[in-house]
């Protein structure tokens, strides 16, 4: 899993429905079609090496893995240097990030580190033997440490909705050749998600924010306030708006992120992706494809990556709710101080407790303010972890030319990772679990503006 690039589109071109459509094709929703195309037998991510088709921050520079290693060191200290510290890469691709972090940590931390790759593709040859390769996330509260998901959520398949001529949001159905048609009206949980997180109409959506992150000019923020005025609706109660507006229904991503957060008993879960929030949704969606380093029309036949920007605020709310629910469940069952969701069938058989003395949970089992999610740009996150992009002094060129060239190259890589018009506009979503407020502050991640 995982994958992306520094450039994404912000609007979809017009597609005349019915033109060139094979009426005998099997029509599916985009979620089902993408699932099979990406992860089914012979699917794109099962078959292909992601780095061949797109370039993520991991591929751009070893500085990214170095920054994750620095975050891991700080988290290790905040957790009191546990006997075993998990590093979990969700959507690990071919294990490049884990390989880089293992090379960057010192021997003492490396001896306690337990690296896991969560990836549906087969384990690559030659990967460090210390890395455990898992096809899926485990049961709740399995780990203490860092769960890191770089460009994973954008490849969690979702349904696509589009408004018809009557302004009703309908599910978009797709054929194997990429042709689309409008299906039935969006209903049930998907309709509820749209109404809360991506209302199609009422002047709420618009093409604001461009480039890799598709962020508003004011920068990232926690969950925005929801509109309170009534939405325009049909007599049947369906949302009414103009025709042709599109949205990706991010409910499966919310659920996936909540599972990733719940896999921690204590620690920090971080998702990095290109995204948007409710105040800046793109009017025509962002669904697209990538192949051989180029953006292509998304076709669910296994020939290309299929991806879309992530509603990061919705994921943040889902992750925070997972922490709150786990805390309430722990309080109700007498498991004092447990910081993540518990399950009767937990693979760990019961994980380490955060302990009430750690300050991980507020009285009565409610999550404390320290466990609120944090949304910030990659530019700010990496700078706080020591990736600044500063040029070396010219004097170094005369005293140590080789060191100067290395430092100059590193500065160029740092500049690419933190470029506010590219990778630096990506969004970091950080969700603490069972970490004391004072300890959390030592991670050094800046608060959103």
Domain ranges of the chain: 1-12+36-158+205-228+247-390+419-449
Residue 63 pLDDT exceeds 90? yes
pLDDT exceeds cutoff 90 at 284: yes
More confident residue, 171 or 342: 171
Q: Is residue 26 predicted with pLDDT exceeding 50?
A: yes
**What pLDDT shows up at residue 224?**
33
| pLDDT classification of 400: cutoffs 50, 70, 90 | low
Per-residue pLDDT tens digits for 70-126 = 999 999 999 999 999 999 999 999 999 999 999 999 999 999 999 999 999 999 999
- Contact between 155 and 298 under an 8 Å Cβ cutoff? The reply is no
pTM equals 0.78
Task: pLDDT band for 390, please (50, 70, 90 cuts).
Answer: confident
* 205: pLDDT strictly greater than 60: no
1-12+36-158+205-228+247-390+419-449 classified as CATH 3.40.50.12710: yes
Tell me the two tokens of residue 405. Answer: 């060239």
Q: What pLDDT sits at residue 14? A: 40
How confident is residue 8, by pLDDT bands cut at 50, 70 and 90? very low
For residues 391 and 414, what is the distance between their CA atoms, to the nearest angstrom? 10
pLDDT at 258 exceeding the cut of 70: yes
Residue 227 DSSP class: P
Q: pLDDT value at position 225?
A: 32
Residue 330: per-residue pLDDT? 77
Residue 357: the pLDDT is: 28
| Whether pLDDT at 310 is above 60 | yes
- Token duo for residue 56: 């993520």
Does residue 273 have a pLDDT over 90? yes
Quick one: pLDDT band at residue 201, thresholds 50, 70, 90?
low
pLDDT tier at 209, thresholds 50, 70, 90: very low
If one compares 394 and 13, the residue with the highest pLDDT of the two is 394
Q: Hey, is 213 helix, strand or coil?
A: coil
Do 387 and 178 meet the contact criterion of CB atoms below 8 Å apart? no
Tokens 């920054």, located at residue? 67
- Residues 226-245 have pLDDT tens digits of 233 344 445 445 445 679 99
- Residue 203 above 50 pLDDT? no
The rounded distance, in Å, linking the Cα atoms of 430 and 440 is 11
Per-residue model confidence (pLDDT) at position 409: 67
Within 10 angstroms of residue 225's Cβ, the number of other Cβ atoms is 7
pLDDT for res 207: 28
Question: What's the pLDDT score for residue 9?
Answer: 35
* pLDDT tens for each residue of 110-152: 999 999 999 999 999 999 999 999 999 998 889 999 999 999 9
Which ranges in 2-129 belong to alpha helices (H)?
30-39, 44-47, 57-60, 62-78, 96-104, 107-112
Tokens 């909705």 correspond to what residue? 161
Q: What is the per-residue pLDDT for 25? A: 58
Taking alpha carbons only, the member of 277, 272, 224 closest to residue 380 is 272
* pLDDT confidence bin for 294, thresholds 50/70/90: confident
Task: Give the per-residue pLDDT at 350.
Answer: 30
pLDDT band per the 50, 70, 90 thresholds, residue 343: very low
Residue 394's pLDDT is what?
67
pLDDT of 220 > 70? The answer is: no
Question: How many other CB atoms are there within 10 angstroms of residue 335's CB atom?
Answer: 16
Check whether 195 has a pLDDT greater than 50.
Answer: yes
Helix (H, G, I), strand (E, B) or coil at 268: strand
Indicate whether 342 pLDDT > 80.
no
What's the pLDDT tens digit per position in 148-182?
999 999 999 999 999 999 999 999 999 999 999 99
Q: Give the mean pLDDT of the chain.
A: 79
Q: Which of 48-57, 155-164, 202-211, 241-250 has the highest mean pLDDT?
A: 155-164
Helices (H), 79-202: 96-104, 107-112, 188-197
């Amino acid at each position: 899993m995982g994958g992306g690039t520094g450039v994404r589109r912000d609007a979809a071109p017009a597609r005349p429905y019915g033109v060139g459509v094979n009426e005998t094709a099997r029509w599916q929703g985009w979620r089902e079609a993408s699932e099979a195309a990406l992860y089914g037998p012979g699917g794109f991510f099962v078959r292909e090496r992601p780095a061949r088709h797109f370039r993520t921050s991991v591929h751009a520079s070893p500085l990214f893995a170095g920054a994750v290693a620095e975050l891991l060191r700080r988290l290790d200290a905040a957790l009191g240097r546990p006997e075993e510290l998990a590093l979990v890469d969700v959507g690990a691709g071919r294990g490049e990030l884990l390989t880089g972090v293992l090379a960057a940590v010192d021997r003492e931390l490396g001896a306690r580190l337990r690296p896991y790759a969560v990836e549906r593709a087969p384990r690559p040859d030659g990967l460090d033997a210390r890395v455990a390769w898992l096809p899926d996330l485990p049961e709740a509260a399995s780990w203490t440490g860092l769960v890191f998901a770089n460009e994973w959520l954008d490849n969690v398949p979702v349904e696509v909705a589009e408004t018809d001529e009557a302004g009703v949001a309908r599910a978009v159905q797709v054929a194997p050749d990429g042709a689309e048609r409008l299906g039935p009206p969006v209903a049930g949980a998907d309709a509820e998600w749209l109404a809360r997180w991506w209302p199609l109409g009422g002047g709420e959506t618009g093409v604001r924010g461009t480039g890799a992150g598709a962020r508003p000019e004011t920068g990232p923020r926690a969950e925005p306030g929801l509109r309170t005025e009534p939405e325009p609706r049909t007599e049947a109660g369906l949302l009414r708006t103009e025709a042709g507006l599109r949205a990706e229904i991010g409910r499966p991503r919310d659920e996936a992120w909540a599972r990733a957060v719940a896999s921690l008993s204590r620690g920090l879960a971080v998702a990095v992706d290109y995204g948007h929030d409710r105040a800046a949704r793109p009017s025509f969606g962002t669904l697209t494809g990538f192949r051989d380093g180029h953006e292509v029309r998304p076709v669910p036949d296994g020939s290309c990556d299929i991806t879309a920007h992530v509603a990061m605020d919705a994921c943040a709310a889902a992750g925070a709710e997972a922490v709150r629910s786990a805390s309430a469940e722990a309080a109700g069952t007498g498991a004092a101080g447990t910081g993540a969701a518990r399950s009767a069938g937990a693979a760990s058989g019961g994980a380490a407790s955060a302990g009430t003395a750690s300050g991980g949970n507020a009285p009565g089992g409610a999550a404390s303010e320290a466990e609120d999610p944090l949304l910030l740009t990659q530019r700010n996150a990496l700078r706080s972890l020591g990736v600044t992009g500063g040029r070396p002094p010219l004097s170094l060129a005369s005293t140590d030319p080789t060191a100067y060239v290395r430092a100059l190259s590193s500065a160029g890589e740092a500049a690419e990772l933190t470029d506010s018009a590219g990778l630096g506009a990506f969004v970091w979503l950080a969700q603490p679990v069972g970490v004391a407020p004072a300890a959390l502050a030592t991670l050094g991640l800046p608060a959103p503006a």
